[in-house]
Amino acid sequence: MSESYILGIETSCDETAAAVVGNGERLLSNVVSSQIATHQPYGGVVPELASREHLRAIVPVVREALRAAGKSYESIDAIAVTQGPGLAGALLVGISYAKALAFSLEKPLITVNHLEGHIHAVLLEEKQKGNFQIDFPLLALVVSGGHTHLFLAEQRGHGWSYTNIGRTRDDAAGEAYDKVAKLLGLGYPGGPVIDALARHGNPRAVKFGPSQIKHNNRGTPKAERTPYDFSFSGIKTAVLRYVELEGMRESIHARQQALAGIGKPAAENILAHCDKKTLDLVASFQRAVVEDLVGKTLEAAEEREARTLFVTGGVAANSELRERFTLEAAKAGLPVYFPSRKLSTDNAAMIAAAAFPKLQAKDFAGADFSAEATLVLR
Ligand code: KG4
Ligand code: ZN
């Protein structure tokens, strides 16, 4: 059978992305236009600005993805687009453009759940490496700026089916990274900065007890509770309290002033403006988050008898998280797979890859679907 090419389009948050993937396993191009510079002054993603930036970038990004893949619009077999979850206005830009392309080119259109995309980023790269042996049930931790979910996956027909067995009750893990970095005047996004700084601090210096990170069931109806839930808003408050108690405000302000003078500060610039107290705090925060993510995931894997682990999403780029998962999964005798750093954060290759089983099953979208900000993965 000849290879089928899917053009993937992703605009659910703050990256405008397009990619071409052959048969769900051969990456031909992967173009990501980041809006980090636009949102940096606000320390988080501003939805209205995100939509405007997607509108500006979508046409050149798609054109570049086709050019880099050596493909014409006509030679693509299908178009895949993220339907949700994500920012409604941002999703709509990608969806409207994908619909228009599919209509004018008379190509099938496939909708993809962003979370399934993150999971398929791992599968795509494993297939690229020649690893086609994935054992089920598979447990996937999807951990990013907007999500912290545990999905148990089984094979179903051409594709996979999912059961959500854990999720965050409040903030996503990446959101906690971003908020803590903002609070400490370390810039945006927080994950990569904290990742780089944490190795210079003592992770045992500040004690974050389980009470700060344990999930809180208050207010959640019993039927909706899942056994492996997460909660990351308590640790953010604990960091704030520590800052107040230890009188760190002035040094944070001084750092903000100093870094404002540097256009795009690198990790070394930021490190040069951090005292030991800040580095210890950052290292302790990261250790607490990583231990919680690894601990609950391995507990779930054992209890649900998972045979493979996937760890994916923006936070899966974190070095300590990767090290700890590699170590603990080996102890448990479980194979664990991560995407490369490039495919950990949002991209469209994962959307094109996740769409391939749907192309095989001829599971195409009509013209009447819209963005689903809270789309559930099943
Ligand atoms: O998957 P992603 O690009 O977007 C969402 O779907 O949310 O994830 C972005 C998130 C941000 O919160 C960012 O701070 C976090 O991933 N992140 C990291 C690292 N790189 C990105 N968190 C921890 N360590 C990293 N190295
Ligand atoms: Zn994402």
Q: Which residues line ligand 1 (CB under 6 A)?
A: 13, 144-146, 174, 177-178, 189-192, 195, 313-315, 317-318, 345-346
Predicted local confidence at residue 40, as pLDDT:
85
Nearest ligand by distance to the CA of 50: 1
- Ligand 1 centre from 71 Cα, in Å? 31
Predicted local confidence at residue 286, as pLDDT:
98
Q: Whose CA is nearest to atom 10 of ligand 1?
A: 145
Average pLDDT over residues 274-281: 98
Of ligand 1's atoms, which has the minimum distance to the CA of residue 118?
1
Q: Does the domain formed by 136-334 have CATH 3.20.20.210?
A: no
Q: Whose CA is nearest to atom 3 of ligand 1?
A: 345
Q: Side chain identity at 292, as an amino acid letter? A: D
In the chain, beta strands by DSSP E? 5-10, 15-22, 26-34, 78-84, 109-113, 138-143, 148-156, 159-167, 308-312, 336-337
Predicted local confidence at residue 367, as pLDDT:
86
Of 10, 315, 374, 375, the one to substitute when testing ligand 1's pocket (max ligand atoms within 8 A of C-beta) is 315
- Ligand 1 centre from 315 Cα, in Å? 4
> pTM (2 decimals)?
0.95
Of 34, 177, 312, 340, the one to substitute when testing ligand 1's pocket (max ligand atoms within 8 A of C-beta) is 177
Is the omega angle on the peptide bond into residue 357 within 30 degrees of 0, that is, cis? no
- Ligand 2 centre from 346 Cα, in Å? 5
- Residue 345's nearest CA partner among 139, 85, 146, 111 is 146
pLDDT digits 0-9 by tens, 244-263: 999 999 999 999 999 998 87
Nearest ligand by distance to the CA of 320: 1
- Ligand 1 centre from 275 Cα, in Å? 25
* DSSP string computed for 138-191: EEEEEESSS-EEEEEEEEETTEEEEEEEEEBSSS-HHHHHHHHHHHTT--SSHH
Predicted local confidence at residue 270, as pLDDT:
97
pLDDT digits 0-9 by tens, 163-220: 999 999 999 999 999 999 999 999 989 999 999 999 999 999 999 877 677 776 666 7
pLDDT digits 0-9 by tens, 324-337: 999 999 999 999 99
Residue 54 and residue 51: Cα distance in Å, rounded? 5
- Ligand 1 centre from 76 Cα, in Å? 31
Q: Does the domain formed by 5-128+343-360 have CATH 1.10.3720.10?
A: no
Chain centre to alpha carbon of residue 178: 13
- Residue 312's nearest CA partner among 293, 331, 327 is 293
Nearest ligand by distance to the CA of 172: 1
* Greatest Cα pair distance in the chain: 66
> Phi and psi at residue 272, in whole multiples of 5°?
-65, -20
Check if 5-128+343-360 and 136-334 are the same fold: yes
Of ligand 1's atoms, which has the minimum distance to the CA of residue 147?
7
Whole-number average pLDDT of the chain: 95
- Ligand 2 centre from 205 Cα, in Å? 32
- Ligand 1 centre from 172 Cα, in Å? 10
- Indicate whether 227 pLDDT > 80: no
- Ligand 2 centre from 13 Cα, in Å? 7
Of ligand 1's atoms, which has the minimum distance to the CA of residue 189?
14
Nearest ligand by distance to the CA of 313: 1
Domains of the chain: which residue ranges?
5-128+343-360, 136-334
Predicted local confidence at residue 37, as pLDDT:
86
Q: How confident is the model at residue 353 (pLDDT cuts 50, 70, 90)?
A: very high
- Ligand 2 centre from 114 Cα, in Å? 6
- Indicate whether 369 pLDDT > 80: yes
CA within 13 Å, CB half, 96: 11
Of ligand 1's atoms, which has the minimum distance to the CA of residue 313?
1
Query: If you search the block for the tokens 């970038």, which residue do you land on?
Result: 57
